[in-house]
Chain A
Amino acid sequence: MVSGLGIGVALGVVLWSALEDLLPFPLDLLVGMGIGLLIGYRLGKQPPPMLMRYPPGVMQRILIALADFVLGLFGYLYLLDLDLTNTQKQLSSLLAILPAIVLLFMLGSATGQLDEMQRRIQTEGIAIAFAGTAIVVGVFALLGMAGIPAPNWSLLLVIMTFMWGVGKLWTMWRYK
Protein backbone atom coordinates (compact mmCIF):
# COMPACT_ATOMS: atom_id res chain seq x y z
CA MET A 1 0.00 0.00 0.00
CA VAL A 2 2.78 2.41 1.00
CA SER A 3 4.78 1.55 -2.13
CA GLY A 4 1.63 1.99 -4.25
CA LEU A 5 1.18 5.47 -2.74
CA GLY A 6 4.85 6.31 -3.37
CA ILE A 7 4.66 5.17 -6.98
CA GLY A 8 1.31 6.95 -7.36
CA VAL A 9 2.75 10.31 -6.21
CA ALA A 10 5.79 9.89 -8.50
CA LEU A 11 3.57 8.97 -11.46
CA GLY A 12 1.28 11.85 -10.59
CA VAL A 13 4.16 14.33 -10.77
CA VAL A 14 5.26 12.88 -14.15
CA LEU A 15 1.70 13.05 -15.53
CA TRP A 16 1.20 16.54 -14.11
CA SER A 17 4.32 17.64 -15.94
CA ALA A 18 3.09 16.01 -19.17
CA LEU A 19 -0.35 17.65 -18.89
CA GLU A 20 1.00 21.09 -18.00
CA ASP A 21 0.67 22.43 -21.57
CA LEU A 22 -2.68 20.77 -22.24
CA LEU A 23 -4.71 21.72 -19.17
CA PRO A 24 -4.88 24.88 -17.03
CA PHE A 25 -3.58 24.89 -13.46
CA PRO A 26 -4.79 23.33 -11.09
CA LEU A 27 -6.69 20.94 -13.40
CA ASP A 28 -3.39 19.49 -14.72
CA LEU A 29 -2.25 18.82 -11.15
CA LEU A 30 -5.57 17.24 -10.13
CA VAL A 31 -5.88 15.03 -13.25
CA GLY A 32 -2.18 14.03 -13.18
CA MET A 33 -2.17 13.18 -9.48
CA GLY A 34 -5.58 11.48 -9.73
CA ILE A 35 -4.49 9.13 -12.54
CA GLY A 36 -1.08 8.58 -10.91
CA LEU A 37 -2.58 7.69 -7.52
CA LEU A 38 -5.15 5.40 -9.15
CA ILE A 39 -2.42 3.48 -11.02
CA GLY A 40 -0.26 3.45 -7.87
CA TYR A 41 -3.17 2.12 -5.80
CA ARG A 42 -3.81 -0.70 -8.31
CA LEU A 43 -0.09 -1.55 -8.45
CA GLY A 44 0.15 -1.55 -4.66
CA LYS A 45 -2.73 -4.03 -4.35
CA GLN A 46 -1.34 -6.53 -6.87
CA PRO A 47 1.31 -9.08 -5.92
CA PRO A 48 4.70 -8.34 -7.51
CA PRO A 49 5.09 -9.91 -10.98
CA MET A 50 7.08 -13.14 -11.27
CA LEU A 51 10.00 -11.26 -12.79
CA MET A 52 10.51 -9.45 -9.48
CA ARG A 53 11.24 -12.12 -6.96
CA TYR A 54 12.36 -9.87 -4.11
CA PRO A 55 10.62 -10.38 -0.76
CA PRO A 56 7.60 -8.01 -0.46
CA GLY A 57 9.23 -5.79 2.19
CA VAL A 58 12.35 -5.37 0.06
CA MET A 59 10.26 -4.69 -3.05
CA GLN A 60 8.39 -2.01 -1.10
CA ARG A 61 11.64 -0.26 -0.15
CA ILE A 62 12.84 -0.39 -3.79
CA LEU A 63 9.57 1.12 -5.07
CA ILE A 64 9.67 3.90 -2.47
CA ALA A 65 13.32 4.63 -3.36
CA LEU A 66 12.35 4.64 -7.06
CA ALA A 67 9.51 7.09 -6.35
CA ASP A 68 11.94 9.29 -4.36
CA PHE A 69 14.35 9.17 -7.29
CA VAL A 70 11.68 10.34 -9.77
CA LEU A 71 10.48 13.06 -7.38
CA GLY A 72 14.10 14.13 -6.79
CA LEU A 73 14.63 14.51 -10.54
CA PHE A 74 11.52 16.65 -10.90
CA GLY A 75 12.53 18.69 -7.85
CA TYR A 76 15.93 19.24 -9.48
CA LEU A 77 14.33 20.39 -12.78
CA TYR A 78 12.10 22.75 -10.78
CA LEU A 79 15.12 24.19 -8.96
CA LEU A 80 16.94 24.75 -12.26
CA ASP A 81 14.06 26.94 -13.44
CA LEU A 82 14.44 29.22 -10.40
CA ASP A 83 16.75 32.20 -10.38
CA LEU A 84 19.64 30.50 -8.58
CA THR A 85 23.31 31.38 -8.56
CA ASN A 86 25.74 29.06 -10.33
CA THR A 87 26.97 27.66 -7.01
CA GLN A 88 23.41 26.92 -5.90
CA LYS A 89 22.68 25.20 -9.24
CA GLN A 90 25.81 23.08 -8.89
CA LEU A 91 24.86 22.16 -5.34
CA SER A 92 21.33 21.21 -6.50
CA SER A 93 22.86 18.98 -9.20
CA LEU A 94 24.92 17.14 -6.60
CA LEU A 95 21.97 16.81 -4.21
CA ALA A 96 19.82 15.34 -6.98
CA ILE A 97 22.13 12.32 -7.14
CA LEU A 98 21.41 11.38 -3.49
CA PRO A 99 18.07 9.60 -4.26
CA ALA A 100 19.87 7.70 -7.04
CA ILE A 101 22.49 6.52 -4.52
CA VAL A 102 19.73 5.44 -2.12
CA LEU A 103 17.98 3.56 -4.97
CA LEU A 104 21.20 1.76 -5.95
CA PHE A 105 21.85 0.89 -2.29
CA MET A 106 18.33 -0.57 -2.01
CA LEU A 107 18.82 -2.61 -5.20
CA GLY A 108 22.21 -3.86 -3.97
CA SER A 109 20.82 -4.76 -0.57
CA ALA A 110 17.83 -6.52 -2.20
CA THR A 111 20.12 -8.54 -4.47
CA GLY A 112 22.00 -9.72 -1.38
CA GLN A 113 18.78 -11.25 -0.05
CA LEU A 114 18.11 -13.35 -3.14
CA ASP A 115 19.04 -17.01 -3.40
CA GLU A 116 22.20 -18.08 -5.22
CA MET A 117 20.69 -18.64 -8.67
CA GLN A 118 18.73 -15.39 -8.62
CA ARG A 119 21.92 -13.56 -7.58
CA ARG A 120 23.65 -15.13 -10.57
CA ILE A 121 20.81 -13.97 -12.85
CA GLN A 122 21.14 -10.42 -11.49
CA THR A 123 24.92 -10.45 -11.78
CA GLU A 124 24.86 -11.73 -15.36
CA GLY A 125 22.16 -9.17 -16.18
CA ILE A 126 24.37 -6.37 -14.82
CA ALA A 127 27.38 -7.75 -16.75
CA ILE A 128 25.36 -7.71 -19.98
CA ALA A 129 24.16 -4.16 -19.19
CA PHE A 130 27.78 -3.07 -18.57
CA ALA A 131 29.01 -4.58 -21.84
CA GLY A 132 26.02 -3.27 -23.81
CA THR A 133 26.41 0.24 -22.41
CA ALA A 134 30.16 0.16 -23.21
CA ILE A 135 29.29 -0.66 -26.85
CA VAL A 136 26.74 2.17 -26.99
CA VAL A 137 29.26 4.65 -25.50
CA GLY A 138 31.83 3.46 -28.06
CA VAL A 139 29.36 3.99 -30.91
CA PHE A 140 28.55 7.50 -29.65
CA ALA A 141 32.28 8.29 -29.31
CA LEU A 142 32.98 7.13 -32.90
CA LEU A 143 29.98 9.04 -34.21
CA GLY A 144 31.22 12.09 -32.28
CA MET A 145 34.57 11.88 -34.09
CA ALA A 146 32.65 11.77 -37.36
CA GLY A 147 31.06 15.09 -36.48
CA ILE A 148 27.72 13.93 -35.09
CA PRO A 149 26.90 15.87 -31.89
CA ALA A 150 27.06 13.95 -28.59
CA PRO A 151 23.68 12.89 -27.18
CA ASN A 152 22.32 13.88 -23.79
CA TRP A 153 24.38 11.77 -21.37
CA SER A 154 21.37 11.13 -19.14
CA LEU A 155 20.21 8.87 -21.99
CA LEU A 156 22.93 6.46 -20.85
CA LEU A 157 21.03 5.81 -17.63
CA VAL A 158 17.97 4.77 -19.63
CA ILE A 159 20.07 2.59 -21.97
CA MET A 160 21.84 0.94 -19.00
CA THR A 161 18.52 0.20 -17.25
CA PHE A 162 17.03 -1.19 -20.47
CA MET A 163 20.11 -3.39 -21.06
CA TRP A 164 19.93 -4.62 -17.46
CA GLY A 165 16.33 -5.68 -18.04
CA VAL A 166 17.22 -7.39 -21.33
CA GLY A 167 20.22 -9.10 -19.72
CA LYS A 168 18.10 -10.30 -16.82
CA LEU A 169 15.39 -11.67 -19.12
CA TRP A 170 17.99 -13.39 -21.29
CA THR A 171 19.66 -15.04 -18.28
CA MET A 172 16.30 -16.04 -16.79
CA TRP A 173 15.36 -17.66 -20.08
CA ARG A 174 18.61 -19.64 -20.06
CA TYR A 175 17.86 -21.14 -16.64
CA LYS A 176 14.16 -21.71 -17.34
Chain B
Amino acid sequence: MKNQLKVLRAERDWSQAKLAELLDVSRQTVNAIETGKYDPSLPLAFKIAALFQMKIEEIFDPENDLN
Protein backbone atom coordinates (compact mmCIF):
# COMPACT_ATOMS: atom_id res chain seq x y z
CA MET B 1 0.00 0.00 0.00
CA LYS B 2 1.40 3.41 -1.01
CA ASN B 3 1.33 6.26 1.45
CA GLN B 4 2.29 9.92 1.84
CA LEU B 5 3.90 9.52 5.24
CA LYS B 6 7.43 10.39 4.14
CA VAL B 7 6.25 13.53 2.31
CA LEU B 8 4.06 14.66 5.21
CA ARG B 9 6.89 14.05 7.65
CA ALA B 10 9.36 16.00 5.47
CA GLU B 11 6.92 18.91 5.18
CA ARG B 12 6.96 19.22 8.96
CA ASP B 13 10.72 18.66 9.11
CA TRP B 14 10.28 15.73 11.47
CA SER B 15 12.76 12.89 11.75
CA GLN B 16 11.57 9.28 11.75
CA ALA B 17 12.46 9.15 15.44
CA LYS B 18 10.32 12.21 16.18
CA LEU B 19 7.34 10.77 14.29
CA ALA B 20 7.85 7.42 16.03
CA GLU B 21 7.78 9.19 19.39
CA LEU B 22 4.58 11.05 18.50
CA LEU B 23 2.91 7.82 17.39
CA ASP B 24 4.32 5.79 20.31
CA VAL B 25 5.90 3.22 18.01
CA SER B 26 9.51 2.35 17.14
CA ARG B 27 11.49 4.15 14.42
CA GLN B 28 11.77 0.79 12.69
CA THR B 29 7.98 0.68 12.39
CA VAL B 30 7.80 4.21 10.93
CA ASN B 31 10.49 3.26 8.40
CA ALA B 32 8.67 0.05 7.39
CA ILE B 33 5.40 1.97 6.90
CA GLU B 34 7.10 4.68 4.84
CA THR B 35 8.77 2.15 2.54
CA GLY B 36 5.46 0.30 2.14
CA LYS B 37 6.82 -2.92 3.65
CA TYR B 38 4.37 -2.86 6.53
CA ASP B 39 0.73 -1.78 6.49
CA PRO B 40 -0.34 -0.26 9.81
CA SER B 41 -3.35 -1.54 11.74
CA LEU B 42 -6.57 0.48 11.58
CA PRO B 43 -6.02 2.07 15.04
CA LEU B 44 -2.48 3.14 14.05
CA ALA B 45 -3.72 4.45 10.69
CA PHE B 46 -6.35 6.54 12.53
CA LYS B 47 -3.64 7.79 14.89
CA ILE B 48 -1.46 8.83 11.93
CA ALA B 49 -4.42 10.53 10.25
CA ALA B 50 -5.30 12.40 13.47
CA LEU B 51 -1.68 13.50 13.90
CA PHE B 52 -1.56 15.01 10.42
CA GLN B 53 -5.20 16.20 10.67
CA MET B 54 -6.11 14.41 7.46
CA LYS B 55 -8.37 11.54 6.39
CA ILE B 56 -6.88 8.04 6.22
CA GLU B 57 -7.53 7.81 2.47
CA GLU B 58 -5.61 11.06 1.94
CA ILE B 59 -2.52 9.45 3.45
CA PHE B 60 -2.87 5.82 2.41
CA ASP B 61 -3.60 4.74 -1.16
CA PRO B 62 -4.82 1.16 -1.56
CA GLU B 63 -3.61 1.17 -5.21
CA ASN B 64 -5.14 -1.85 -6.89
CA ASP B 65 -5.77 -3.84 -3.71
CA LEU B 66 -9.54 -3.84 -4.28
CA ASN B 67 -9.36 -4.99 -7.90
Where the two chains meet, the residues of A that have a C-beta atom closer than 8 Å to any C-beta of B are 53, 114-118, 120, 172, 174-176
Told that A115-B26, A116-B25 touch, could you supply 16 new A-B pairs with CB distance under 8 A?
A: A53-B26, A53-B28, A115-B24, A115-B25, A116-B29, A116-B41, A116-B44, A117-B29, A117-B38, A118-B29, A120-B38, A172-B28, A174-B37, A175-B28, A175-B32, A175-B38
Q: What bracket does the count of chain B residues touching chain A fall in?
A: 10 to 19
Contacts A/B (CB < 8 Å), 24 sampled: A53-B26, A53-B28, A114-B26, A115-B24, A115-B25, A115-B26, A115-B29, A116-B25, A116-B29, A116-B41, A117-B25, A117-B26, A117-B28, A117-B38, A118-B28, A120-B38, A172-B28, A174-B37, A175-B28, A175-B32, A175-B38, A176-B31, A176-B32, A176-B37
Interface mask (B1-40 → A, CB under 8 Å = 1, otherwise 0):
0000000000000000000000011101101100001101
The dominant DSSP class at the B interface is loop
Where the two chains meet, the residues of B that have a C-beta atom closer than 8 Å to any C-beta of A are 24-26, 28-29, 31-32, 37-38, 40-41, 44
A174–B37 Cα gap in the complex (Å)? 8
Q: Which residue of B lies closest to A116 (CB)?
A: B41
Q: Which residue of A lies closest to B20 (CB)?
A: A115
Task: Specify which chain A residues have a CB less than 8 angstroms from the CB of B25 in the assembled complex.
Answer: 115-117
Q: Which residue of B lies closest to A175 (CB)?
A: B32
A118–B29 Cα gap in the complex (Å)? 8
Check A117 against B32 for contact (C-beta < 8 Å). yes
Q: Which residue of B lies closest to A50 (CB)?
A: B28
Task: Specify which chain A residues have a CB less than 8 angstroms from the CB of B37 in the assembled complex.
Answer: 174-176
A169: min CB distance to chain B, Å: 13
User: Ordered nearest first, which 9 A-B pairs have the shortest CB separation?
Assistant: A115-B25, A117-B29, A175-B32, A175-B37, A117-B38, A116-B41, A115-B29, A175-B38, A115-B26
Task: Specify which chain A residues have a CB less than 8 angstroms from the CB of B38 in the assembled complex.
Answer: 117, 120, 175
A50: min CB distance to chain B, Å: 8
